[in-house]
Amino acid sequence: MPELPEVEVTRRGVEPLLIGQRILAAHLGKPLRWPLGTEPKTLEQSRVLSVQRRGKYLVVGLDVGVLLIHLGMSGSLLAHTGPGGELRAHEHFGLDLTNGHLRLHDPRRFGAVVWAPSAVEGMAAKLLGGVGPEPFSPDLTPQTLHAGFKRSAVAIKPLLLAGKLVCGVGNIYASEALFLAGIRPQRRAARVSLAQATALLAAVRLVLSQAIEAGGSSLKDFRHSDGSSGHFQTQTRVYGREHEACGVCAAPIRMIRQGQRSTYFCARCQK
């Protein structure tokens, strides 16, 4: 599933194409997770004012509301110059613009494109209302993160994945951050100390920054807006490296299942 780094890479890729352009036509293919919320024709002649990210959502600001775009399990947002035309196979939403076209390519159709009057109204308010603090926000401190951990009875890794205390830390990045912070993924969140929470927040920020720099992770379907792949999956320290030697202590990396998700860790380095 595309996580925060992949969505941020996508945002940076499509922003130059979108900003200031008028929408000439909007196209809908097969149904996605939620309905668009307006007739595609109502988007015509609107102008794109901004392209932002909130958690795993792209928030495209228009002069007639906002479009929320979620890449789902297998989606990619592809930007092209030149005329658009009809949607192709696995393309389920598209915009034809004055300077090119945008297409949501999503073979499994778990993604979504939703229109709302603003980011704080309608379906946008419902979808964004449950998104936790941004990992790079100065308002997210070790103290606030630690306080959230103390209120929880679950293990630290599933809590990170839930996205309530900090958003966008997907499966790959949670395993990597917990390794860097020296915290075993099965540890109860309430037993994580303030010092460990401080190390974990720093690790989350480092891992996400490195992933964005590497263009995200392309394990299966994810592609950049230009169709190229991300490379962070080749740089992981523990994720996907079961039985390989830990780069710190040489002990074999282990893999367990937590909530149907694969978790990778070093039993010697992480306590």
Cβ neighbour number for residue 246 with a 10 Å cutoff:
20
Q: Are 124 and 148 in a shared domain?
A: no
CA distance 48 to 66: 9
Confidence tier at 221 by pLDDT (50, 70, 90)? low
Confidence tier at 84 by pLDDT (50, 70, 90)? confident
Residues classed as catalytic: 2-3, 56, 261
CA distance 241 to 116: 42
Does the pLDDT at position 220 exceed 90?
no
Q: Are 115 and 147 in a shared domain?
A: no
The CATH number covering residue 9 comes to 3.20.190.10
In this predicted structure, what is the pLDDT of residue 28? 95
pLDDT average, residue stretch 207-224 = 83
Mean pLDDT of the chain: 94
33 is a domain residue: yes
179 is a domain residue: yes
Last residue of a domain, one of 77, 105, 129: 129
Q: Are 100 and 153 in a shared domain?
A: no
Q: Are 258 and 230 in a shared domain?
A: yes
SS in 3 state form for the chain? CCCHHHHHHHHHHHHHHHCCCEEEEEEECCCCCCCCCCCHHHHCCCEEEEEEEECCEEEEEECCEEEEEECCCCCEEEEECCCCCCCCCCEEEEEEECCEEEEEECCCCCCEEEEECCCCCHHHHHHHHCCCCCCCCCCCCHHHHHHHHHCCCCEHHHHHHHCCCCCCCCHHHHHHHHHHHCCCCCCEHHHCCHHHHHHHHHHHHHHHHHHHHCCCCCCCCCCCCCCCCCCHHHCCCCCCCCCCECCCCCCECEEEEECCEEEEECCCCCC
270 is a domain residue: no
Last residue of a domain, one of 129, 151, 178: 129
CA distance 28 to 39: 10
Q: Are 70 and 179 in a shared domain?
A: no
Does the pLDDT at position 224 exceed 70?
no
119 is a domain residue: yes
135 is a domain residue: no
Give the angle 16-115-55 at the CA atoms, nearest 5°: 65
In this predicted structure, what is the pLDDT of residue 156? 98
Q: Are 178 and 207 in a shared domain?
A: yes
Q: Are 159 and 213 in a shared domain?
A: yes
Contact 43, 108 (CB under 8 A): no
- pLDDT tens digits for 148-206? 999 999 999 999 999 999 999 999 999 999 999 999 999 999 999 999 999 999 999 99
74 is a domain residue: yes
Q: Which of 89-98, 217-226, 255-264 has the lowest mean pLDDT?
A: 217-226
In this predicted structure, what is the pLDDT of residue 226? 76
Confidence tier at 147 by pLDDT (50, 70, 90)? very high
Q: Are 256 and 180 in a shared domain?
A: yes
Could you tell me what percent of the chain has a pLDDT over 70? 98
CA distance 242 to 147: 33
- pLDDT tens digits for 241-268? 999 999 999 999 999 999 999 999 999 9
- Stated pTM of the model: 0.93
Last residue of a domain, one of 129, 150, 167: 129
The whole domain housing 21 covers 4-129
Q: Are 122 and 197 in a shared domain?
A: no
Kindly state the tokens that stand for 211.
Answer: 């992933």
What pairs with residue 97 in β-bridges?
23, 100
227 is a domain residue: yes
Residues in the chain: 271
What pairs with residue 25 in β-bridges?
96
134 is a domain residue: no
The CATH number covering residue 159 comes to 1.10.8.50
Indicate the number of domains in the chain.
2
pLDDT average, residue stretch 46-72 = 97
Q: Are 117 and 172 in a shared domain?
A: no
Q: Are 102 and 146 in a shared domain?
A: no
Q: Are 152 and 260 in a shared domain?
A: yes
Could you tell me what percent of the chain has a pLDDT over 90? 86
